[in-house]
Structure 1
Amino acid sequence: MREAEQDPRHIPVLLDAILERVSPVTGTWIDGTMGAGGYARGLLDAGAERLICIDRDPLAHEMAKTWIDAYEGRIELHQTVFSKMDEVAQGVDGVVLDLGVSSMQLDEAERGFSFQGDGPLDMRMSQSGPSAAELVN
């Protein structure tokens, strides 16, 4: 992995184990929870020819703009939920999902996920739908 390009807030802890088990990495893959792109970049660096990245979080797509050009058109981005991956891709060679809330959401109190900092009660990956505050009040 290109360590210098890694977002310091996100370390894909299972990347090496995944790459070891699916080696050799070839063909088209889906990263259904792109986030900071750790698994996406790892798969591309390991040999995936094409990667379809899915994430509902607009911040993840903004962050992707900082590293996507390094992969010369090998990435296709979709801002949606991973449960709709069949609508954006078929016939892929592998899928990776890093499930659960990420430090990207927890570390920024204004995102509304933090249990350690003051922020709104939001808890949405994107700004669509009601916030947690709207649901409980």
Structure 2
Amino acid sequence: MSELDLYAKYLDLGVRLGRSGEDLATWVEDKVRQDMERSDRQVERERKREEMELQKQREEMELQKQREEMELQQHREEMALQREEREMQKEESQRQLELRRMELEAEIKKLELGSRNNADGAGPKQNYVYDPEA
């Protein structure tokens, strides 16, 4: 409601209440001033409420951003750990394969030596002990 509308409203009301002259003018001025102050306070409250709502939204957005950044960092760390684990498993598999290869090579050499000794007639030798009574 505009200020002129308020003056008209309170002037009409004041006249119906039997006010006139200086008393009517003072009463109308007080009522209009009170309404305007009330309206200003309401506008200020709404402005503060909107400001608080905007601040709340900004804070929620910042928290969401922080949560997303933390989740992304956690995901990156998990991926790095998985890569490290895969690399360690790969290295362990390679070590196991190398160990098995070396064992097989040793077994082959052992078998080759055994077959060479048997082919040369140099198999295991018996120890003969001289027994004069025999």
Normalising by structure 2, we get a TM-score of 0.21
Higher relative contact order (CA 8 A, sep 6+): 1
Q: Pick the structure with more helix per residue.
A: 2
Q: Pick the structure with more strand per residue.
A: 1
User: Radius of gyration: which is bigger?
Assistant: 2
Normalising by structure 1, we get a TM-score of 0.20
